[in-house]
Structure 1
Amino acid sequence: MEELDVRQIFTYLKRHFWLIICIVLVAASLSATITYFFITPQYEASATLYVFNDSNRSDTSISTTDITTSQKLIATYSVIMQSDNVIHKVIETTNLNYTPSQIRKMFTGTSVNNTEVMKVTITSSDPVDSMVLANAFIDVAPDEILRVIKAGAVEILDRAEIPQQPSSPSMMKNIAIGAVLGVIAAVAFVILYELFNTKVRNEENLLRVVKAPVIGYIPDLQLYQKDDKEVHSYGRRRKA
């Protein structure tokens, strides 16, 4: 197996350019096919809640401490909303055929840009179910949160709507990933093929393999025979 330098690698890649292109196209096409036919689209529906750190909101002024406390409460509220009590009430409200563990995997509760606004997101293969579940959570959550914590409160800002486009998978992203993997596979194949290819194609290749001077050349007899036949054929045409 011979050693490689950068110039040799580029020579090999140039020699097998169209093979590399074909492998990349096949990889990208395969990625698109798998994405379209074998990966189930997922839809996200989101609703938002405004979190207060005190259920008594007669004082309209809001301090920095109130905002910080509300932000911290969002993490607590998210855990409460994933409790069995809340999820069972969501199932009873929606009458959807999901288990608590399935709904828990669909649920995400996060703070919007580190504010007091909490976003409840449901990810499902059914766009209608994702909307129904997200709205059920924000309907059930306020009373259940107040019952558990006995402090703080939430108000509904926006209700979820039916998502029109899937959130995943991304066709273009997967095609790009497939193309990149195709390039890597094609380049690796070409380099390995050239490394283990023992065929000597020219003098430079021979010198690199045997590391000895060339003392003579063996002519290609088939090439001479071909040229000789062309000469005789030309002569016969002239005589005719």
Structure 2
Amino acid sequence: MSTSTAGSENRGRQSSDQVKEIDLLEIGRAIWDKFWFVVLLTLIGAALAFGITNFLIHPTYRSGFTAYVNNHASGSENNVSSLNSGDTAASQTLAQTYASIIKSRPVVEDAMDRISMDVNYDDIADDITTEVDTDSQLVTLDVTMENATDARNLARSIARVAPKYVASIVEGSSMKIVSSPILPDQPYAPSIPKNTAVGAIIGCLLAMIIIIIRHLTDDRIKSVEELEAKFGFSVIGTIPNFDEAANNKGKKGYYYAASKAK
């Protein structure tokens, strides 16, 4: 009795696995049959993303500078060439402090005053970012704005103010500008190719989701094989689809033959 039950369970699991495999194949076939729909939504998604990015989103420009952090003052006897590993580690730790100082309110407001930029600090605080290279003693500051000239001018002014300001706060240390801000000639964001590709991917996924949902919710039997698999009996005959036959053969199809038979 137990052996029979185990055999039934095994057959049930095998049958379930076969149904799952058939379902996956049918889903893939359904997507392939509606490939034109997938391509259409992919193109629509790409076109929408391109249009929104190109015409509705204002481009932003980024300009910045890179500074070298030294835990000795510029005029001290211990210059860069005489730094040991302990000095380097201390400088890397100071770099985190410098990154916070050079984007702080006093530094940025002083820099804006020098170029007569009438902007509130709170409005542009998020547009000023810093990054510390943990493998070196370099700190990078970037200014991102809708106007390329304003971004370059503010970054340049901060680069002029920051070294003296930092030296007055952190005694016995210095910061030197390695690369100066330049005027950006290309937008930093948004990226039209990237957004267009994302739109195309979203359109493609949306099309496949729609096809899969429609396929899974469609309970109609479309083939003899599906009928046999669902109800477990053999089909001994089928009735032809007269509509398709008439469309394929023209007016002199099954309908014409049936009327002549009468």
> Per the shorter chain, which TM-score range?
0.7 to 0.9
What's the offset of the Cα at 1:229? 6.7
The root-mean-square deviation of aligned C-alpha atoms, in Å, is 2.5
Alignment counterpart, residue 62 of structure 1, candidates 69, 79, 83: 83
Are residue 154 (structure 1) and residue 158 (structure 2) matched? no
- TM-score by length of structure 2 reads 0.78
**1:13 maps to which residue?**
31
Which has the larger displacement, 196-205 or 215-224? 215-224
Aligned partners of 2:32, 2:252: CA distance in 1, in Å? 30
- Distance in 2, Cα, partners of 1:174 & 1:142: 39
Which blocks of at least 5 consecutive residues in structure 2 are unaligned?
Answer: 1-18
Q: Given the alignment of the two structures, is residue 109 of structure 1 paired with residue 130 of structure 2, yes or no?
A: yes
In the other structure, the counterpart of 1:44 is 62
In 1, distance between residues paired with 2:102 and 2:153?
Answer: 15
1:53 counterpart residue number: 71
Contact 1:109 1:120 in 2 (8 A): yes
Whether the 8 Å contact between 1:74 and 1:110 is mirrored in structure 2 is no
Q: Distance in 2 between matches of 1:179 and 1:214?
A: 44
Task: Give, in angstroms, the shift of residue 74 of structure 1.
Answer: 1.4
Tell me the TM-score normalized by structure 1: 0.85
Q: Give me the identity figure in percent.
A: 26
Count of aligned pairs = 231
Instruction: Give how far 1:112 is off.
Output: 4.0
- The one-letter code sitting in structure 2 at the alignment partner of 1:51 is V
Match of residue 227 from structure 1:
253
Aligned to 1:187, which of 208, 215, 223?
208
Matched, 1:174 2:195: yes
Superposed CA offset, 1:98-119 (max 9, x none) = 2112332111222346212222
* Aligned ranges 1:110-129 → 2 under 5 Å: 110-112=131-133, 114-129=135-150
Which structure 1 residue ranges, 5 or more long, are not aligned?
233-240
> 2:89 and 2:113 mapped to 1: Cα distance?
34
Corresponding residue for 1:28? Answer: 46
Segment drifting more, 161-170 vs 47-56: 47-56
Instruction: Assess, with a 3 A threshold, how the Cα gap between structure 1 residues 117 and 229 changes in structure 2: closer, same or farther.
Output: closer
- Taking a change above 3 Å as real, the CA distance of residues 211 and 231 of structure 1, as seen in their structure-2 partners, is closer
Give the superposition deviation at 1:204: 2.6
**Structure 1 counterpart SS, 2:253:** helix
Q: Give the 3-state SS of the residue equivalent to 2:166 in structure 1.
A: helix
Letter aligned with residue 5 of structure 1: D
User: 1:164 & 1:114 partners in 2: Cα distance?
Assistant: 30
Structure 2 CA distance for partners of 1:95 and 1:214, relative to 1, 3 Å: same
Which 4+ stretches in 1 moved above 6 angstroms?
Answer: 229-232
Corresponding residue for residue 197 of structure 1: 218
Relative distance call for 1:166 and 1:16 in structure 2 (3 A) is: same
Partner of 1:47: helix, strand, or coil?
Answer: strand
- Tell me, in whole angstroms, the C-alpha distance in 2 between the residues paired with 1:82 and 1:113: 18
Residue type matched to 1:76 in 2? T
Q: Structure 1 residues 88 and 220 mapped into 2: Cα distance closer, same or farther (>3 Å)?
A: closer
Q: Which amino acid aligns with 1:59?
A: N
1:195: how far off? 1.6
State how far apart, in whole Å, the 2-side matches of 1:90 and 1:19 are.
55
Task: Please give the residue correspondences for 1:85-96 in structure 2 after superposition, counting only pairs within 5 Å.
Answer: 85-96=106-117
Tell me if the contact between 1:87 and 1:103 (Cα under 8 Å) persists in the aligned partners: no
